[in-house]
Amino acid sequence: MANENSGLHTAKRNKKDEFYTQISDIENELRHYRKLLQGKVVYCNCDDPYVSAFFEYFTKNFEFFGLKKLITTCYKNQRMDLFSQNDADQAIKLEYEGGAPHSLPTPTDIGVTILEGDGDFRSQECIEILKEADVVVTNPPFSLFTEYVAQLAEYDKKFIIVGHQNAITYKGVFPLIKGNRMWLGYGFKRNMAHFITPHYEDTASDTDHQEGKIRVSGVVWYTNLDHNKRHEEMILVQRYHGNEGEYPTYDNYNAIEVSRTQNIPMDYHGAMGVPITFLTKYNPEQYEIIGATESEGAGFSSGLWHPESGVAQAAVNGKRVYKRIFIRNRNPIAPEA
C-alpha cells in the first residue's frame, strides 16, 4: 500500500511538473544576458529538445550569443506522447556546437544520443555534464526546486532558471538570496506566465485564458548572473513619522511593518519588514537583506524576533501578516527634525 501511495505521489508530482516555457518568455529574459553568455557552455538539464523552447531558443540564437556549446538532457518521464517524436521511455542528450546548415536545426538534424540512466539531473551521468557547463538555463521541476538549487550551488554554477516566488523563503534558498549568491532576473510581465501543458484545465478568467496553456502567478526568474535592473535605484517618496500610523512596529520583531515595497520610507535607519515581492526591486547597493521571519526558518530573523512572544509569523496588534523579509536601507536620508 505504501508503495502504491508513493507511486501515486510520484505520478501526481510528475504531472504537476509537466508544463513548458514559451519561447517569448525565454526571449524576454535571456536577451539581458547576451554578453555574459558569450563563449559559454550552456546546459539545459530538464529539457527534451523535441519539446523544449530553451533548445529552440539557443539553437536559433547560438551565433547571436557566440555560445561555445549547447547541451540538453531530459528526464525520461519528460518525454510526452503528445509532443514527443521518440520513445518516451528513453532519456536523451543532445550536444550542439553551432554550424548547422540552416538557422533552425531540429534535434534530428543535430543528432541525439541515448543516456545510460534516466536523465535525472541528480544522476552522476548528468552531474558529469554539469561539471562541464558554465551556465545552466532551464525551467526545472518546481517540486524539486530546493534540491535543484542546492546542486547548482554545490557545483558553483552560473544559472538562469524559472521558479516560483514562494521559493524565496525556502530554507535551502533564502540563505543564498540573503548572501547575494542568487537574485531575481528581469521577470515575467505582472509576475505571471502562461505555460504550455496538455495536463491542466486552465481556470483563468476569460481575458487571461489561453487555449492549451496554464496561467501561473508568482513566477520569477532566478539567477546569479549580474544584470542592469539589479543596480537600478528605487525612488523613495515616503517619510517615516513615528510608528503610530502607516509603519507600526511589529508585536514580535524589532522592525517596522512596510506593507508595500513602494512605501519604504526614505529616512528610516532600522529594520523594516517587507513582502517577498520586494525582491523584484532589490538593489544590493541600496539595501541589505537582514533576514526573514522565524516562520520561514529558525534563526532566519538574525535576532530581531522576541521568542517570548511564541509567535513566529510577524504580527501587528495581534494580527498576523503574510511572509515578510527584513531589510535595511544602506543610505537613508536624515529623518525630519
The only residue of 29, 47, 294, 296 in contact with ligand SAM, by rule CB under 6 A: 47
The only residue of 19, 62, 221, 222 in contact with ligand SAM, by rule CB under 6 A: 19
The only residue of 120, 257, 294, 296 in contact with ligand SAM, by rule CB under 6 A: 120
- Cβ-count burial of 118 within 10 angstroms (0-12 exposed, 13-18 middle, 19+ buried)? middle
**Cell numbers that stand for 124 in this block:** 552522476
SS3 (DSSP) at 263: helix
The only residue of 59, 61, 78, 165 in contact with ligand SAM, by rule CB under 6 A: 78
Answer whether 304's CB lies under 8 Å from 192's CB.
no
- Shortest Å distance, C-beta 221 to ligand SAM: 12
20 belongs to the binding site for ligand SAM (CB under 6 A): yes
72 belongs to the binding site for ligand SAM (CB under 6 A): no
Choose one: 14-22, 163-171, 205-213, 300-308; the region binding ligand SAM (CB under 6 A). 14-22
The only residue of 30, 52, 129, 272 in contact with ligand SAM, by rule CB under 6 A: 52
18 belongs to the binding site for ligand SAM (CB under 6 A): yes
Of 180, 178, 219, 218, the C-alpha closest to 29 is: 219
CA distance 213 to 192: 13
29 belongs to the binding site for ligand SAM (CB under 6 A): no
**Cell numbers that stand for 98 in this block:** 553551432
Residue 222: how many other CB atoms lie within 10 Å: 25
Q: How many CA atoms lie within 13 A of 118 on its CB side?
A: 5
Which positions from 214 to 253 touch ligand SAM by CB under 6 A, shown as an x/- string?
Answer: ----------------------------------------
167 belongs to the binding site for ligand SAM (CB under 6 A): no
169 belongs to the binding site for ligand SAM (CB under 6 A): no
The only residue of 62, 75, 174, 326 in contact with ligand SAM, by rule CB under 6 A: 75
Q: What Cα–Cα distance (Å) separates residue 19 from each residue in 45, 91, 179, 263?
A: 15, 18, 31, 36
Supply φ then ψ for residue 241, to 5 degrees.
-120, 55
CA distance 325 to 295: 11
Residues making contact with ligand SAM (CB under 6 A): 17-21, 46-47, 52-54, 75, 77-78, 119-121, 138-141, 144
